[in-house]
Structure 1
Amino acid sequence: MQVTIDGVTYVSHEDPVWRAENSHLAMVDLAPFDLQGMREQLWLRETVDDGEYEICCLPFYAYGLALGDVVGKSGSENVGTVIRKSGRRVLRIMFAEPRFQEGDSRAVLREVLDAAGLLSEWNGDRFIAIDVPDISVMQPIFDSVQAEIQNGTAFWEWGDSRGFAQA
């Protein structure tokens, strides 16, 4: 979900894949990723080490972060540093508008994700972040959207194609 307040667009996760009972929220300023005026709210849970938090959602826009990564906060509300990587990756797919009835692969993608047992989060009906615990299970995912990528109605990127940075 996205909401704009006083010129700043906030991106939130309505249904984080690892929502914990005692969750924490922290923001990531997206300006270092060329998304000025945007902030992403991430769900975290405290680890056994004081001041360390595990990411419990799949980042839609922040680069260099993935499910299970351990981060530290700068101040009370911002993710400041990556302490440990989980070894997971995030694949992001955006479906362009206008949508064409023939060739819309979103339903097929949902089925393939369910069959593979992969975790995912949608931001609206056009943007999905997919947890990639093991790259070897991804071929059916790529196959399900390949025609749209070739037609220019879907685009993908790896969430770790750039490192994490804070302003």
Structure 2
Amino acid sequence: MTAAEKFSTHSGPAWREKANFVINAKLPEEGRFEQLWARQVSEDTFELCCIPFFLYDVALGDVVQTREAHGRRYVLDTVVQPSGHYVFRAYFGRSAHPREEIVERLTELGAVVEWSSATLLAIDALDLDHAQQIADFLQMRAGLGQLMFETGKTS
């Protein structure tokens, strides 16, 4: 790692018990990477065991292929087998909004969550129907001014 490189890490990956590897994903900003917990499937193929905090179009359970890039051996290249999961990210800002209550309700709805920081939460939904339930809940809470959210899909 050079002085200019910055890595976002996962301290509590959703599927920690399945993971046996950490791969890197290049983020759009210069020198930025996200380290992803994964389960090695083959020499250069991995199943993601965490919910991406900053990547788009990649989700928990996706099988991805890596390649050598940016001076590293295992850098995410492409999704080879989508899991069907959906990613949301909720940002709470500096407010004292009911974060614990929101996480509790998301968990009751069947979501899996990972904290990136005290203000950023990654949320996993199992499929399209589940994603709609999660989106409806997040939209309602956003309407109350308790959070901002986005989906992890670009299309």
Q: TM-score range by the shorter chain?
A: 0.7 to 0.9
Aligned ranges for residues 121-136 of structure 1 at < 5 Å? 121-136=114-129
- The partner residue of 1:146 within 116, 129, 140 is 140
Give the match for residue 69 of structure 1. 62
Deviation for aligned residue 1:116:
2.1
SS in 2 for 1:19: coil
SS for the counterpart of 1:156 is strand
**Which residue, out of 112, 116, 120, partners 1:119?**
112
1:82 and 1:115 mapped to 2: Cα distance? 29
Name the SS of the counterpart of 2:143 in structure 1. helix
| Cα distance between partner residues in 1 of 2:66 and 2:140 | 38
* Deviation (angstroms), 1:5: 6.5
Residue identity matched to 1:155: M
Identity %: 29
Q: 2:11 aligns with which of 11, 14, 25?
A: 14
Q: Distance in 2 between matches of 1:69 and 1:12?
A: 18
C-alpha separation in 1, matches of 2:98 and 2:135? 10
Could you state the TM-score of these two structures normalised by the residue count of structure 1? 0.77
**Unmatched runs of 5 consecutive residues or more in structure 2:** none
Greater alpha carbon shift after TM alignment, 19-28 vs 124-133? 19-28
Give the 4+ runs in structure 1 shifted more than 2 A: 134-147, 149-154
* Alignment RMSD (CA, Å): 2.4
The separation in 2 between residues aligned to 1:116 and 1:143, in whole angstroms, is 9
SS of the residue 1:44 aligns to: strand
Which residue identity is paired with 1:10?
A: F
Instruction: Find out whether 1:95 has 2:92 as its counterpart.
Output: yes
State how many pairs are aligned.
150
Distance in 1 separating the partners of 2:82 and 2:44: 16
Note if contact 1:58-1:66 (Cα within 8 Å) is conserved in structure 2. yes
Structure of greater relative contact order (alpha carbons < 8 Å, 6+ residues apart): 1
- Asked if structure 2 preserves the Cα contact closer than 8 Å seen for 1:108 and 1:144, the reply is no
Q: Which of 24, 27, 30 matches 1:30? A: 27
2:81 counterpart (56, 79, 84): 84
Q: Report the more deviating stretch, 73-82 or 63-72.
A: 73-82
